[in-house]
Amino acid sequence: MCFVHAVTGSTRFQGGALLQDGGFINPTLQAVPKREALEIEADQTPPFYLGMATAAPQIEGANATDGRGPSIWDIYEGIPGKIENGDTSAVADDFYHRYLDDIGAMRLLGVKRFRMSIAWPRILPNGDGQINQKGLDFYSRVLEALLVAGIEPHITLYHWDLPQALQDRFGGWNSAQIVPVFAQYASVVFNALGNYASHWTTFNEPWTFCFLGYGQGSGAPGLNDKAQAWNCVYNVLQAHAAAVKQFRALMPGAKISMNLNCDWGQPLSGSQADADAAQRKIEFMLGAFADPIFFGDFPASVKQRISYLPQITSQMAADLKGSIDYFALNHYTSTYVIGQQGAVGLQGPCDYIETQVTPDSHLIGDEADSDWLKVTPWGFRLMLNWVNNRYHPSEIVVTENGISMKGENDMPLAQALEDTQQVNFYRDYIAAATDAVKYDKVPMTGYFAWSLLDNFEWGSGYSKRFGVVHVDYRTQQRFYKASAKFLTQLFNTTVLDPTFTYPSD
């Protein structure tokens, strides 16, 4: 990502032109004004299902319990200054011990789908070799409890928690040695847990863990080498293809994908240079993974600019093409993009820079608590259309979307539970997605709110709260926020307990 905080020069908007009332116009989309509420028929829910999302390293805790080995994040968290307030994921939400309460809470709300991840170091503490049966038993208990509660699990194999032993042994995702090792891990999980779920993904946000973890050093394992980051991309793609081969042999009726994240890139001006740069920004962030899967090669814009980019062979292309059954998209925010010759950013030479501030100091959207996240529901609709127009997937599932409400961590409990900004975020983003389905014929079938619980938010520790359930980290008590009630009522789920009392209260 090539990113700056301010730019100079004249401004007018091309494509998703902003209106004074906050709506947008796009040449290929129907203009939809800003709405104070979802304009859908009284008896009709949004045209896609609702799920709640989490990740093992952010909620489970119990990092040294029952044979779990250390992950690269466990080690990274111990480096002074890397995590805000010196927080660690050692306890997190203690989901390892409290999963029945959290599953019970979703059941009371009528939630029918739950996205979770498997912790690789809990299954194979050294990355490969000896299997930790206690780890498999834990996930068997969780998955059985979900099914008993009438909740369908959606499972991610890898959500950033690489066993530290593999990083030490050969450099983790920088090395091609990771490919057969990941395939072995995937095989263990598929064989042991495959009957519990019909929807899977191999990797969560490889852009993030490759370029922040290996290319910038702002995430585990804390390296700063762009060539290693692109090696990570290449090896992730190979590992994905290898895992999918096993998956389809073992579970022919199930579906698998890869969770790809992307911010919408909006040209800052009406110039062709900015329009081209905005396209290039999405190709670098999303196309670097999706293009090989759909077309068998990296985008031309990437190949032209990254001299150290590994080459995709004909066999690798054949293995990748068609290796996902649905498009799994994580999306939160948008940026303005400016074409600038010679610009070098997070991914290397890219000829563009990004900003969320206009020359006259206007933010692209309202601020969240996380400084990278600005509220831009219009960008969500444009992002969905870009994916649909480029790749023509049979199905799109939004596997993460959410907000950290500004100032929430410092609020009294009663105020935090009335999370109005979060409610408004969900209202407007879901409205934008509904428009994409109704007016633009985007084949979006599912939506997962990030996240079920407040949790360990990586470098921000526990200072940012994305949950629709508030967690008191001192007592591990949980409380429904207004956003949890809003989502379940909006999607017309069957609320089993109208008082919304959390099971563990």
Report the amino acid identity of residue 275: A
Alpha helix stretches (DSSP H) within 258-403: 272-282, 288-295, 300-305, 314-320, 377-391
pLDDT of residue 96: 98
What mean pLDDT do residues 488-492 have?
94
Distance CA 505, CA 503 (A): 6
pLDDT of residue 442: 98
Radius of gyration for the alpha carbons in the chain, expressed in angstroms and rounded: 22
The β-bridge relationship of strands 477-480 and 469-472 is antiparallel
- Whether residue 78 is predicted with pLDDT greater than 60 in this model: the reply is yes
Distance CA 458, CA 115 (A): 18
Q: Which of 418, 388, 284 is nearest to 327 (CA)?
A: 388
Q: Which residue has the tokens 């017309």?
A: 492
Least confident of 17-31, 37-51, 106-120, 226-240: 17-31
Compute the CA torsion angle 126, 131, 134, 137 (nearest 10 deg): 130
Q: What's the pTM value of the predicted model, to 2 decimals? A: 0.93
Distance CA 474, CA 454 (A): 13
Least confident of 2-6, 87-91, 409-413: 2-6
pLDDT digits (tens, 9 = 90+) for 407-445: 999 999 999 999 999 999 999 999 999 999 999 999 999
What mean pLDDT do residues 256-261 have?
99
- Whether residue 64 is predicted with pLDDT greater than 60 in this model: the reply is yes
What mean pLDDT do residues 132-152 have?
98
With beta carbons less than 8 A apart as the criterion, state whether 61 and 112 touch.
no
Which run of H or of E encompasses 259?
strand 255-261
With beta carbons less than 8 A apart as the criterion, state whether 479 and 501 touch.
no
Give catalytic status of residue 400 as yes or no.
yes
Give catalytic status of residue 39 as yes or no.
no
Strand residues in 15-162 grouped as ranges (E): 17-18, 24-26, 29-32, 49-53, 113-117, 152-158
Catalytic residue among 60, 283, 400, 457: 400
pLDDT of residue 30: 53
With beta carbons less than 8 A apart as the criterion, state whether 207 and 288 touch.
yes
- Whether residue 19 is predicted with pLDDT greater than 70 in this model: the reply is no
Please tell me whether the peptide bond between 125 and the residue prior to it is cis, using omega within 30 degrees of 0: no
Q: If you count DSSP H runs as helices and E runs as strands, how many of each does the chain have, helices first?
A: 17, 20
pLDDT of residue 504: 63
Chain center to CA of 22? 26
Count CB-CB contacts under 10 A for residue 49. 17
The strand pairing partners of 336, in sequence order, are 266, 355
Distance CA 453, CA 487 (A): 14
- Whether residue 306 is predicted with pLDDT greater than 60 in this model: the reply is yes
Residue 404 neighbours by CB under 8 Å, 6+ apart:
368, 369, 370, 373, 457, 464, 465, 466
- Whether residue 320 is predicted with pLDDT greater than 60 in this model: the reply is yes
Count CB-CB contacts under 10 A for residue 485. 17
With beta carbons less than 8 A apart as the criterion, state whether 193 and 155 touch.
yes
Report the amino acid identity of residue 458: W
Catalytic residue among 205, 283, 354, 457: 205
pLDDT band (50, 70, 90) for residue 389 = very high
Chain center to CA of 233? 16
With beta carbons less than 8 A apart as the criterion, state whether 202 and 244 touch.
yes
pLDDT of residue 242: 98
Q: Domains in the chain, start-ordered, CATH in brackets? A: 17-490 (3.20.20.80)
Distance CA 260, CA 208 (A): 9
What mean pLDDT do residues 375-394 have?
98
What mean pLDDT do residues 32-60 have?
75
Chain center to CA of 154? 13
The strand pairing partners of 113, in sequence order, are 152
